């Protein structure tokens, strides 16, 4: 039986926290995408998340907390980390920091690394759950490993639903694209994954930021950044100015196609926030066997466009 509760239902977060306390798994909304949460201190529960999601054990999970004070118990925050957290939390920024000596997060959740990826989400339902639970919640995006992240409760696939104890339905996610992952374990902050906080916003507050070059580096710094990820079933054709009659076309702004079998526009006004918000939704809608492939209009590589292009490029890698 599928156990779904609207986040507006009285006592929803208590019920969810109770399940987490007993080692269960709860899918919950954040402002970015839905997460599949477990008590990060409970090895069995964390293992269940890896198993249910078919996630490789070398790929660590993000640890969610209610506030910066709880986060400070788990990782070492230097002055820069405190500043970054105060500026961007609660919000869609994940910080990679050294693990604190008395950190009680399961080593399995962190794939054995000496670092921890921490995030304080601002979505009210996520905040409610985290405050009620008052411990660390390990939560990857609530999709089978390698496929498109869910931005609505009904995007969570049946194969996951069957193995989840409770789904908190908080409606569509406000941003719709995952958090930015920022590594603060090095002298100069570097982006490991582009996401909902654009590079420009980080530069504005922090000065120079490095972008980690995953393809030219042999060290696996963010093990989750596998080349093929966010994959659609049908092939993607990127930077397509026009489409073929047998193709679906994912348009952006004025760049649209009359020939395509179907056209959906990420944002008619060319707004990158709107495009980020619709990306996973429209990819799901166009990913049908009746279309030979999905042609995607060029997306400007600035602001949120960087994260959009990152997801599209990885989804386009052939398996």
Residues in the chain: 319
Residue number with CB closer to Mg ion (141 or 265)? 141
Measuring CA to CA, which residue among 289, 318, 92 is closest to residue 197?
A: 92
130 binds ligand TXA (CB under 6 A): no
Using CB under 5 A, which of the segments 70-78, 136-144, 275-283, 307-315 binds Mg ion? 136-144
By beta-carbon distance, which residue lies closest to ligand TXA? 224
**Are the CB atoms for 141 and 36 separated by under 8 Å?**
yes
Pick one of ligand TXA, Mg ion, none as the site partner of residue 223 (Cβ within 5 to 8 A by kind): ligand TXA
Pick one of ligand TXA, Mg ion, none as the site partner of residue 306 (Cβ within 5 to 8 A by kind): none
Which residues are CB-contacts of 260 (< 8 A; sequence separation ≥ 6)? 243, 244, 245, 247, 248, 249, 295
35 binds ligand TXA (CB under 6 A): yes
By beta-carbon distance, which residue lies closest to Mg ion? 141
- Alpha carbons 7 and 103: distance in angstroms, whole number: 30
**Which DSSP state fits 179?**
P
Helix, strand, coil percentages for the chain (3-state, nearest 5): 30, 20, 55
Q: Element (H or E) spanning 305, and its range?
A: helix 305-316
Which residues are CB-contacts of 270 (< 8 A; sequence separation ≥ 6)? 252, 253, 254
**Which DSSP state fits 274?**
H
Using CB under 6 A, which of the segments 28-36, 153-161, 162-170, 268-276 binds ligand TXA? 28-36
Residue number with CB closer to Mg ion (147 or 234)? 147
141 binds Mg ion (CB under 5 A): yes
Using CB under 6 A, which of the segments 176-184, 265-273, 282-290, 293-301 binds ligand TXA? 176-184
Among 33, 49, 129, 275, binds ligand TXA (CB under 6 A): 33
Which residues are CB-contacts of 78 (< 8 A; sequence separation ≥ 6)? 184
Using CB under 6 A, which of the segments 13-21, 112-120, 236-244, 266-274 binds ligand TXA? 112-120
Residue number with CB closer to Mg ion (247 or 310)? 310
Binding flags for ligand TXA, 40-79, as an x/- string (CB under 6 A) = -------------------xxxx-----------------
Phi/psi of residue 134, each to 5°? Answer: 55, 20
Sites of contact with ligand TXA (CB under 6 A): 30, 32-33, 35, 59-62, 92, 94, 96, 110, 113, 115-117, 119, 139-141, 178-179, 181, 192-193, 222-225
């Amino acid at each position: 039986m599928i156990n779904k509760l609207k986040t507006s239902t009285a006592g929803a977060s208590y019920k969810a926290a109770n399940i987490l306390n007993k080692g269960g798994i709860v899918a919950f909304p954040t402002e970015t995408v839905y997460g599949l949460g477990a008590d990060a201190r409970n090895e069995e529960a964390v293992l269940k998340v890896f198993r249910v999601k078919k996630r490789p054990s070398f790929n660590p999970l993000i640890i969610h907390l209610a506030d910066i004070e709880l986060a400070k118990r788990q990782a070492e925050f230097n002055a820069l980390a405190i500043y970054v957290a105060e500026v961007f939390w609660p919000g869609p920024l994940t910080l990679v920091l050294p693990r604190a000596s008395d950190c009680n997060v399961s080593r399995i959740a962190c794939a054995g690394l000496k670092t921890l990826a921490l995030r304080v989400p601002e979505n009210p339902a996520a905040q409610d759950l985290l405050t009620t639970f008052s411990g660390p919640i390990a939560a990857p995006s609530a999709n089978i490993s390698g496929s498109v992240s869910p931005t609505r409760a009904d995007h969570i696939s049946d194969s996951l639903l069957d193995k989840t104890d409770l789904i908190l339905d908080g409606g569509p996610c406000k941003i719709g694209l995952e958090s930015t992952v920022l590594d603060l374990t090095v002298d100069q902050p570097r982006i490991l994954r582009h996401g909902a906080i654009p590079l420009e916003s980080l530069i504005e507050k922090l000065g120079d930021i490095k972008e980690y070059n995953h393809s030219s580096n042999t060290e696996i710094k963010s093990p989750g950044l596998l080349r093929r990820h966010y994959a659609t079933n049908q092939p993607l054709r990127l930077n397509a100015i026009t489409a073929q009659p047998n193709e679906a076309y994912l348009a952006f702004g004025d760049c649209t196609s009359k020939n395509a079998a179907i056209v959906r526009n990420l944002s008619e006004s060319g707004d990158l926030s709107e495009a980020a918000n619709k990306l996973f939704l429209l990819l799901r809608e166009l990913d049908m066997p009746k279309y030979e492939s999905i042609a995607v209009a060029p997306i400007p590589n600035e602001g949120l466009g960087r994260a959009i292009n990152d997801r599209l490029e990885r989804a386009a890698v052939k398996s």
